[in-house]
Chain A
Amino acid sequence: MDIPLPAFIPDNLINKDHMNNETHISSYSSLAIVLIILLLLTMISVTVTGFHLGPFAVAAALIIASIKVASVITYFMHVKFESLFMKLMISGVFVIFALIIIITFIDYLLR
């Protein structure tokens, strides 16, 4: 039942790990470190927005949230250790997502 892959797909696009049972396993300690970083970022976010800096608070909160989201995707969702194809697909969709939000919002602002 093994269907050979078309030759034009480069080797590194396909995750070979599953084929020879060498899947990357995240260590407990690395996951715990990511959680500590996420909690620290939450603390920073709560503190910074407490200063009532107006638009800067919004920018700071959104930047911190983006860093948190990036770490969750990279480590908790294990994307760092996926195949190049998955990485490209996932990052591509997030870029499109961000562009849609930003461009639509700019369109509204400049009306």
Chain B
Amino acid sequence: MSDSHNNIEHFDNEAGKMGMWIFLFTELFLFGGLFLVYAVFRTKYSADFHAGASELNSFIGTLNTVFLLTSSMTVAMSLTAIQKNNKNLALFLVSVTIMLAALFMMNKYFEWSHKFEFKIYPGSSVLKNMNRGELLFFGLYYMMTGLHALHVLVGMILLSINLVKIKRGVVNMKRYLLLENSALYWHLVDLIWIFLFPLLYLIT
């Protein structure tokens, strides 16, 4: 602490983390709105949602859940590593997290392209001829998993920045707020998927 006092620099880890949490709350409500729309339409068109959900591949969904849960652990461990001044282990664990995220996105790519082959995508002729409920189901499916995938991409970018900063020693044993906040963001991505997965893939 005395170093930062000499440099007349104000650094508050607690406040930085609090700011991140407040941002995460806004993210929560963003997805919350979509979950609410899903709940309402699911009640209104339960048979169509049943038909729509049975078309999703629950194996891919489960695999992606495993990837995301594991990556959440590795990013939490990377924070432990940096706090214990184990730079190489931290670099390794962040890299593993990015790799798992890439695997998630790859799965998503295969999943979506498989749907596209059957001409199931927003605005397609096949989708337009489906029942109203199924149209809504796939609309929500693409919107929710798409917005989630966008968050995965942002998380991957954030974690890559962390890799560079850890390597350069900017993120270190004493200053790890960037990694801590990026990890919090990554956990939020995981949290949202924990709800998306059963709602879209499992409950048919």
Contacts and interface: CB of A to CB of B under 8 A. Distances in A.
Interface in A75-95: 75-78, 82-83, 86, 89-90, 93-94
Most buried by A among B32, B65, B198: B198
B103 interface: no
A73 B191 contact: yes
Interface residues of A, number: 51
B14 interface: yes
Nearest to B176: A23
B62 A27 contact: no
Given A1-B8, A27-B80, A28-B80, A64 B70 contact: no
A12 interface: no
Interface stretch (B71-79, B119-127, B140-148): B71-79
Interface in A23-51: 23, 25-28, 31-32, 34-35, 38-39, 42, 45-46, 49
B8 A65 contact: no
A25 B66 CA distance: 25
Given A18-B14, A83-B14, A35 B58 contact: no
A42 B80 contact: no
A45 B198 contact: yes
Given A18-B13, A27-B80, A46 B36 contact: no
18 contacts: A15-B14, A23-B83, A26-B76, A31-B77, A35-B73, A42-B62, A45-B198, A46-B58, A57-B202, A57-B203, A61-B198, A72-B191, A77-B184, A78-B76, A90-B21, A97-B32, A100-B32, A108-B39
The 3 closest A-B pairs by CB, nearest first: A61-B198, A49-B202, A35-B73
